[in-house]
Structure 1
Amino acid sequence: MVFKLTKQVIDISSKEEVIRQWLLKELMNTYGYPLELIQLEFPVQQFSKRRYEGIAVSIYVER
């Protein structure tokens, strides 16, 4: 399996990463999202807590 976005991955040998890479493949192949709109370990802020989401998909709208 060839991993995508490896520069954004903290621990490439984790079991979580195998599942996340499968989800990336599904997002790109099944749903047609371009790799440029997908980020791993995306920083979010929930009130005063700062944390990271495992995967984030940006929405591109052309006006």
Structure 2
Amino acid sequence: MTVAGPNSAVVGAVLQPAVAGKLAVAGKLTIDGDASVLEAYGALLDEFDPDFPIVTP
């Protein structure tokens, strides 16, 4: 599988594979090959809460 596009779009697809399809539909990415590989990769990643408390009182 090959993912091509601007650097920011490719990084977005690697860090958040769920948005890769939306970026491809918008014309910002081109995905050649089996796109299910990107979905399988995304299933391996954890989603973290960006507002987690670093220090709790």
**TM surpasses 0.5:** no
Q: Report the TM-score, using the length of structure 2 for normalisation.
A: 0.27
- The answer to which structure has the higher helix fraction is 2
Q: Report the TM-score, using the length of structure 1 for normalisation.
A: 0.25
Q: Relative CO higher for 1 or 2, CA cutoff 8 Å, sep ≥ 6?
A: 2
